[in-house]
């Protein structure tokens, strides 16, 4: 059996779900456009540059969840999926996931974006396992804080290993382990698996992939 891990934003999606979620809330008037649009762009630029403060970003990303009922958030997310996410899912991305699953692989999405935003997207792909930054809840409402270790950079490796351990598995349980990603932020996990694959990669990841002889593919 193979282990196949997928990054989500700009990998399986031809866009960034957390960036789009903030844009969606701004467009609905839930967030102040003048203040939040600039902060959203600033965090996105830091992510691309590899300088993102994940805790400051999560305060920004998760804070709005704490101020609305879950039923309202779920209704917004359905609209968000239809308008912002489904158009970014290519037939190539779905076919890649389906091919690995038909071959009997254990598949999971591994993403820094929070579990509220990404859970329905994972289900759209038919991927049962999601390793995401956990949006903490208490009494049926989000707290606006993360729970546990954010799934980002080196911590993605730790989160995957904890998940495998919970299943009674480890890296050696698999004939091959794959990770598909677009971002140099994911180099720790890419370098951990046996078969890393760069997907529509940023410049830094493309250079590393070419240096290491990793496959480079496009899902767009």
Q: For the chain, give every domain's residue range.
A: 3-212
Q: Per the residue annotation, which of 9, 16, 18, 182 is the catalytic one? A: 9
Torsion of the alpha carbons at 9, 15, 21 and 25, rounded to the nearest 10: 170
Give the span between the Cα atoms of 69 and 219, in whole angstroms: 36
- Does the annotation count 7 as an active-site position? yes
Give the span between the Cα atoms of 117 and 126, in whole angstroms: 16
Under CATH, domain 3-212 is a member of which superfamily? HAD superfamily/HAD-like (3.40.50.1000)
Q: Can you tell me whether residue 143 is helix, strand or coil?
A: strand
Q: What does the pLDDT look like over 175-206, one tens digit per residue?
A: 999 999 999 999 999 999 999 999 999 999 99
Say how many residues make up the chain: 220
Going by their DSSP bridges, the two strands 3-6 and 177-181 should be labelled as: parallel
CA distance to 152, 166, 213, per residue, from 171 (Å): 19, 13, 22
Residue 183 near residue 165 (C-beta atoms within 8 A): no
Residue 1 has which token pair? Answer: 């059996």
- Does the annotation count 74 as an active-site position? no
Residue 67 near residue 141 (C-beta atoms within 8 A): no
Q: Per the residue annotation, which of 2, 7, 18, 195 is the catalytic one? A: 7
Average pLDDT over residues 12-17: 96
Q: What does the pLDDT look like over 30-85, one tens digit per residue?
A: 887 877 777 778 877 888 888 878 778 877 778 889 889 999 999 999 999 999 99
């Amino acid at each position: 059996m193979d282990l196949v891990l997928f990054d989500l934003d700009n990998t399986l999606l031809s866009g960034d779900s957390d960036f789009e979620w903030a844009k969606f809330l701004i467009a609905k008037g839930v967030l102040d456009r003048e203040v939040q649009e600039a902060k959203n762009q600033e965090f996105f630029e830091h992510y691309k540059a590899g300088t993102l403060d994940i805790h400051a970003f999560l305060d920004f990303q998760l804070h709005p969840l704490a101020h609305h009922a879950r039923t309202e958030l779920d209704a917004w997310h359905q609209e968000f999926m239809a308008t912002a996410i489904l158009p970014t899912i290519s037939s190539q991305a779905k076919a890649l996931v389906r091919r690995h699953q038909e071959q009997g692989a254990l598949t999971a999405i591994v993403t820094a974006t929070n579990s509220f935003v990404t859970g329905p997207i994972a289900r759209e792909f038919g991927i049962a396992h999601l390793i995401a930054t956990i949006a903490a809840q208490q009494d049926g409402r989000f707290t606006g804080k993360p729970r546990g270790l954010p799934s980002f950079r080196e911590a993605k490796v730790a989160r995957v290993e904890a998940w495998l351990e919970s299943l009674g598995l480890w890296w050696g349980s698999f004939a091959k382990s794959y990770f598909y990603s677009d971002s140099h932020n994911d180099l720790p996990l890419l370098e951990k698996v046996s078969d890393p694959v760069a997907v529509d990669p940023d410049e830094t990841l493309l250079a590393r992939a070419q240096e290491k002889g990793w496959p480079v593919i496009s899902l767009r």
